[in-house]
Structure 1
Amino acid sequence: MEKYSSGLVSESFWFIEVKKIIKLRHYGKTWDDIKVLCLEDNLLGISKEYRAKRIFGYLKNRLEVLEDGLVEVFIHSDLNTQKIINIIAMAKRNRLFFEFLYEVYREKVQLGAIELKDSDINIFFKNKQDQDEDVSKWTDVTLRRLRSSYMNFLTDAGLLTISGKQKKITPPILDVTLENYLNDNGDSQMIKAITGVN
């Protein structure tokens, strides 16, 4: 089973960058081609080469989990659906983030909760620390940064809406093409994690 990772603290939602790279992949560019575009033509708009290299690496890892069919769905979808596909890629790559969506976000939606609280995430991490030796060694700073990252990802994907100090839960209505694709490819758990439906 894939180990838990706190790697998402180093990442952002990077939607514009994801969109550029998925389009290039769709039109037949190899990862090597895209790397050259990132480092030599500044595709990502990052002035420092070492940062462009690092972010390219993160994006490549994230997007490699998307099958051609899901890339096809992305290309022909509206903005909201594309953002959902980005968060799906993140959850496919990171077991802890997927479990957070499935065990916390989904449960709150099912209970009809209006908002996601910091305490909900804190309880989730506390449980994981009790269950997993690696997670139990993470520092408070790492956990705080992860909590902040998760909240940002959900907000950027439209799953949360910030209203004053409240983080309102706004579960999406999935595009039927995306929903059918996920169901047909054995990813119904992902639908549940993101929409909260049974």
Structure 2
Amino acid sequence: MKNLKYSAGAVSKGFWFQAFKKYNDLLNRGYKDKEIKEMQEKDNILLAPSKSYGKKMINEIAKRTKALPDEIKDIFSRLTLSDQKILNLLGIMMTDRLFFEFMYEVYREKIIIGNLEFDNSHTRIFLNNKSEQSERVANLTLQTKKRLSGAYRTYLKDAGLLVEEGGLSIIRKPILDMSLEAEMKNKGMYPYLKVFLGE
């Protein structure tokens, strides 16, 4: 993770859960990465609006999946839909350092202190703090930071970790499948697990 540079890549990447699910289902049925990419190129299995967008999607989905330990990928098809969404979010966290730090420093912190109300100011404060620590983040335009804030919010909502209640956005702590939790403990993924457990 420390080798990853801060990036604003999230502004151009969706949560893309249906694509992630399709890719992992095909992997679990024995298809290879190259074959799935050829299927996308030929038959647009991800239903992308254009060929170039489809290529971008499949490459990003493959990158997220490759970041996950094999033992976690192997249990994908046995997990509930909500846990599969968590795996997609985990893949994003493992390939996007800035988003991981947002999850660790903002989302996890909110669960720990029990202040579950969330608004865009929390992301703004996070990005301002990062700007003081990193020239790369400091050089992002205000527009990019605003779009990043929107992307992070969308990721949380699409993963089921942010819900609307009575006009407020509320952080939700997931209930993880025991086998997923065990694999994350076994594979040295405790920093990521701590995000979801609020520890």
Same fold (TM over 0.5): yes
- When residues 134 and 109 of structure 1 are mapped into structure 2, their CA distance, relative to the original with a 3 A threshold, is same
Distance between the aligned counterparts of 2:174 and 2:159, measured in 1?
9
| Aligned position for 1:14 | 16
Give the 3-state SS of the residue equivalent to 1:44 in structure 2: coil
Instruction: State the percentage of identical aligned residues.
Output: 37
Is residue 47 of structure 2 the alignment partner of residue 45 of structure 1?
yes
Moved more, 1-10 or 127-136: 1-10
Is residue 173 of structure 2 the alignment partner of residue 171 of structure 1?
yes
Give the 3-state SS of the residue equivalent to 1:167 in structure 2: strand
Q: CA deviation at 1:118?
A: 1.3
Structure 2 residues not aligned, in runs of 5+: none
Q: How does 1:130-169 map to 2 (within 5 A)?
A: 130-163=132-165, 165-169=167-171
Distance between the aligned counterparts of 1:176 and 1:47, measured in 2?
37
- When residues 14 and 173 of structure 1 are mapped into structure 2, their CA distance, relative to the original with a 3 A threshold, is same
Show CA shifts across 1:16-35 (max 9, x none). 11111001112221221111
Distance between the aligned counterparts of 1:47 and 1:142, measured in 2?
24
Is residue 101 of structure 2 the alignment partner of residue 99 of structure 1?
yes
Q: Give the conservation status (yes or no) of the 8 Å contact 2:41–2:51.
A: yes
Show CA shifts across 1:1-20 (max 9, x none). 32101111111111111111
Name the amino acid aligned to 2:48: I
The two structures have a TM-score, normalised by structure 1, of: 0.95
Distance between the aligned counterparts of 1:181 and 1:21, measured in 2?
21
Q: How does 1:29-40 map to 2 (within 5 A)?
A: 29-40=31-42
Distance between the aligned counterparts of 2:70 and 2:30, measured in 1?
11
Structure 1 residues not aligned, in runs of 5+: none
Distance between the aligned counterparts of 1:90 and 1:111, measured in 2?
25
Q: Give the conservation status (yes or no) of the 8 Å contact 2:4–2:97.
A: yes
Give the 3-state SS of the residue equivalent to 2:45 in structure 1: coil
> Size of the alignment, in residue pairs?
197
Q: CA deviation at 1:47?
A: 4.2
RMSD, aligned α-carbons: 1.2
Distance between the aligned counterparts of 2:49 and 2:93, measured in 1?
29
Distance between the aligned counterparts of 2:47 and 2:4, measured in 1?
33
Distance between the aligned counterparts of 1:155 and 1:19, measured in 2?
17
Show CA shifts across 1:31-50 (max 9, x none). 21111111111101124211
| Aligned position for 1:62 | 64
